[in-house]
Structure 1
């Protein structure tokens, strides 16, 4: 066998062996490469927002308070959660001493609330009711209510902590002005000219206030705070259905109910005078149901 033939046989053998191994070991080499599937996207879980917390902090450049705590309230409530923290309670005496030494100063108190909350108070909004609750507590600790102003402010970005708002109250110190005295005089004239009138169903003593009536409660409360010797008159009236003696008692029940309602909303009992006129002072004819409805009322005004 010649060398040439030998080389040809070896080359053929090499091709055959290579083909065998290609078919055996690389049978999938020509297959289309399959892309690994991407893992499913993970759902983004929003982070739980941190509760909003406002401090018991204010000042005027001479005196300042800055405590990382405050008056706290449950959602849809204007009742202060007690006891107060030691931080806040420990500074109230300092605030009282400063305000007493500076009678020309006023402490502004702004209560916050959210639109999602219910307003169980007699005030136009829950923030004002909270501010009044703080004012009343400070007054019980010796601060003069005449040196405090209350306001309410919508704060929808507040975040509660397990149903409790942490310090939804802000403070500021301002200078008292002559305009304040003129405003109080105008407030008195407005209340006397257009008193708060509460209407009742027959033989019932329940109260449901309109927005206008809520503002009148706020005005009366403010006037009583600013004028130390001022008081409010609460007089119950009825229609002429039934006996006169019974109606006199019913009128008194309505006056007392209104008295309790005002007290619950922060007006001191010492500033409320109650009485009943029964059926003796109708404002409309008792011959019609419309007239009788107008006569079943309690009138709240300044003395």
Structure 2
């Protein structure tokens, strides 16, 4: 009888214990938590997708941050294009992204309005390339400088330097980047005088004699520089001189030279330079800079000289 009562008491406590375990919130949380953990095991394919999306976003952010750009002296973009420049392992060529449209105009406008600033172009080269003695870094910088000059930028406003950098070409022998830029304030008086002299004495080559005269990139960029130069030195005047080759009659060439000088004057006035500051004249064929003995030399003699004094 005593054993029977003990058994009943044991069964009673066992039932109470089971009821407490399954009804207790803490136990339920623990049990459900265990189940949830099993159910939320990461899907390898989903994790791979998320990882790739993250890496792609980082790559895009880097591309946008590093693209083809130049910042002004205040740290603001003069221009920015998302695609980078590209240098080649085999030579000093630099590839400009096809999306970079109008960068020369934007740079010319900045430099024209800031006569005390100049652009430094840095070309990358590895230690191995530097040791080879090929000067690839400097040649790459000069390649870009020539692109700017072709686009109308004053050559005297651009300096070039090489820069040692550790990088690896891809399987096609290309490296995205390789060129950096810095706008530098010209504090050296001699250097500033050199820049201003290049504005005050300018020789231009273009189709100045065409009836439907249109300025080329060099004249467009120069007009901005000249306008701001005259703001800085309001007492100065500008003389525009037309020159020709020796083909044709001397009197006719004097007339052609004058017409070409007048075309340039009209354009400069349209860009905001006061007409009263500009005079024109012609020297025709009388003042060649090289002998008129070849088509190339005649092209050099057909020119416009602009002298500010």
TM-score bracket for this pair, using the shorter chain length: 0.3 to 0.5
Q: Bigger radius of gyration, 1 or 2?
A: 1
The TM-score normalised by the length of structure 1 is 0.39
Larger helix proportion of the pair: 2
The TM-score normalised by the length of structure 2 is 0.38
